[in-house]
C-alpha cells in the first residue's frame, strides 16, 4: 500500500527479526536524545539562556562517551542528529508563535519513527538498505517512485497497530501547477453532510468511526479486562490500535480523493475559518466533529492548492454565512441548527447549507479583490463584527 501525503510517498514493509530489533533500538535512542535535549534546553531557558542545535549536537557527543548512555553509539548517528534538528524546528515555531511548546516523547506514543538522510541509506535497483543493516528492507512497492528523482530523506515508522512504513521524500515532476480556469467554489462543512458546495452538490459524511464503533467498543472492553503490564494487555492494545488504524486509513483515503477532485476542478476554493480545537470541547458533538476531520480536510486543500497553483481563501468564522440571504443580503435574527430550510423576507426559500456556501463564496471573492489576505483577522469593534464582515454587509444587493 502506498500513501501520497505531504511528507512523501509511504510504503508498507516487513522487517526481519534482526531489522525490527535494530529499528526498535533506534526508535528508543531517538526518543531518549529528543527528551534529553528538550530537558536541557528547557532548563537553560529557565536560567534565561539559549541553547542552539550546535550545542545540543555537542552534548550528544558527550553523552555517547558516558557509560550510562554508551548505547547511543550503537545505532546510526543520523537519526539522532535529525531528531535534534526537529527539536530546533519545533522551538523555532514556538518562539514564532506558530505552535505550542514541544512535549516530551513517550514510550506509549502511537507512532515511533526515525529519519535517515542520504548519507545513511542506499537505494539501488529498487532495494533500500539503511545504515547498520546488512540486508535491504522487504518493501511492497505498490507504485513507482517519481522518474529521475532520488529520495533526499527516508523516514521509517511503526504505528500503534504494529505496522511498519517507510516514507521517501523526493521531488515529483508530476506535481506542477494546473492550467488556470475561472471556476470558484464555496465550501460549507457540516455533520449531516460532510461538505455542501455552492454549486448545490452535497457530499455525504461517511462517518467512518461510527461504522466500526461496535468493533472498537468490543476491543476496548477486552483491553480494560486485561491485567496492567501483562502480555495479554499488550496484545489487546494492538487490537484496539488496529481498529483505529482501519478507521484512519479509510478516512484519509476518502479525504485525499475528495480534496484532489476539488483542487483540480476549481481555481479558487473558499471555506469558513473554523476553530475546530474549540468546537470539540462540546461533548455532544466532539465525537462527530473529530470523525469528520475538518482540520485534516482543510490542511489537504491548502497544501494541494500550493502544489497545483490554486487559491484557497478562509473567511472569518464570525461571518454570518447561514443567516445571510444570498439573494437580497437581508440578515435573519437567529438561526438555530435545527433549521435546515428558511424563507427570507424577500420570499426566497433557502437550503441552509447551500445558502451558506454561496455566501462564503461571495465573501471569499470579495476578500480576494480587496486584498485582505487568505485568513482575514478579526478586528475589535463595538458590534463585534470583523472588518470583512462589515464591508460585505454594506455592499449593495
Active centre residues (catalytic): 188, 272, 353
Q: Are the beta carbons of 280 and 290 closer than 8 angstroms?
A: yes
In eight-state DSSP terms, residue 68 is T
Classify burial at 257, counting beta carbons within 10 Å of its beta carbon; exposed 0-12, middle 13-18, buried 19 or more: exposed
Query: Chain centroid to CA 59: how far?
Result: 32
Q: 164 — phi, psi (to 5°)?
A: -105, 135
Classify burial at 17, counting beta carbons within 10 Å of its beta carbon; exposed 0-12, middle 13-18, buried 19 or more: exposed
359/346 Cα distance (integer angstroms): 16
> What is the torsional sign of CA 138, 144, 147, 151?
negative
Q: 313 — phi, psi (to 5°)?
A: -125, 130
Grid cell, residue 361, equals 463564496
Q: How many CB atoms lie within 10 A of CB 176?
A: 9
Q: Are the beta carbons of 94 and 102 closer than 8 angstroms?
A: yes
Largest CA distance in the chain: 81
Q: How many CB atoms lie within 10 A of CB 327?
A: 15
Secondary structure (3-state) at 44:
helix
Amino acid at each position: 500500500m502506498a500513501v501520497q501525503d505531504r511528507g512523501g510517498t509511504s510504503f508498507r514493509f516487513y522487517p526481519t527479526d534482526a531489522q525490527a530489533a535494530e529499528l526498535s533500538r533506534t526508535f528508543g535512542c531517538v526518543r531518549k536524545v529528543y527528551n534529553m535535549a528538550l530537558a536541557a534546553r528547557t532548563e537553560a531557558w529557565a536560567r534565561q539562556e539559549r541553547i542552539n542545535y550546535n550545542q545540543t549536537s555537542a552534548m550528544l557527543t558527550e553523552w555517547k562517551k558516558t557509560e550510562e548512555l554508551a548505547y547511543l553509539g550503537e545505532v546510526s548517528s543520523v537519526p539522532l542528529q535529525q531528531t535534534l534538528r526537529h527539536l530546533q524546528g519545533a522551538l523555532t515555531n514556538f518562539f514564532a508563535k506558530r505552535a505550542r511548546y514541544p512535549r516530551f516523547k513517550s514510550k506509549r506514543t502511537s507512532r515511533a519513527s526515525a529519519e535517515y538522510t542520504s548519507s545513511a541509506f542506499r537505494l539501488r535497483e529498487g532495494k533500500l538498505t539503511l545504515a547498520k543493516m546488512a540486508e535491504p528492507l522487504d518493501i511492497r512497492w505498490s507504485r513507482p517512485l517519481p522518474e529521475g528523482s532520488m529520495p533526499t530523506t527516508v523516514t521509517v515508522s511503526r504505528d500503534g497497530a504494529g505496522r511498519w512504513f517507510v516514507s521517501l521524500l523526493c521531488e515529483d515532476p508530476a506535481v506542477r501547477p494546473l492550467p488556470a480556469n475561472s471556476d470558484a467554489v464555496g465550501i460549507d462543512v457540516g455533520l449531516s453532510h460532510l461538505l455542501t458546495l455552492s454549486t448545490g452538490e452535497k457530499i455525504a459524511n461517511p462517518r467512518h468511526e461510527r461504522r466500526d464503533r461496535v468493533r472498537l467498543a468490543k476491543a476496548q472492553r477486552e483491553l480494560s479486562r486485561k491485567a496492567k503490564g501483562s502480555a495479554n494487555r499488550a496484545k489487546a492494545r494492538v487490537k484496539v490500535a488496529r481498529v483505529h488504524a482501519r478507521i484512519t486509513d479509510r478516512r484519509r483515503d476518502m479525504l485525499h480523493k475528495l480534496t484532489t477532485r476539488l483542487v483540480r476542478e476549481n481555481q479558487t476554493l473558499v471555506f469558513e475559518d473554523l476553530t475546530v480545537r474549540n468546537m470539540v470541547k462540546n461533548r455532544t458533538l466532539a465525537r462527530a466533529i473529530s470523525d469528520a476531520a475538518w482540520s485534516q480536510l482543510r490542511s489537504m486543500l491548502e497544501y494541494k492548492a500550493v502544489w497545483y497553483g490554486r487559491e484557497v481563501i478562509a473567511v472569518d468564522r464570525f461571518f454570518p454565512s447561514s443567516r445571510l440571504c444570498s439573494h437580497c443580503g437581508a440578515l435573519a435574527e437567529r438561526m438555530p441548527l435545527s433549521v435546515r430550510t428558511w424563507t427570507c423576507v424577500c420570499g426566497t426559500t433557502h437550503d441552509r447549507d447551500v445558502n451558506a456556501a454561496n455566501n462564503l463564496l461571495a465573501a471569499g471573492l470579495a476578500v480576494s479583490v480587496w486584498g485582505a489576505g487568505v485568513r482575514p483577522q478579526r478586528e475589535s469593534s463595538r458590534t463585534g463584527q470583523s472588518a470583512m464582515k462589515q464591508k460585505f454587509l454594506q455592499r449593495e444587493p
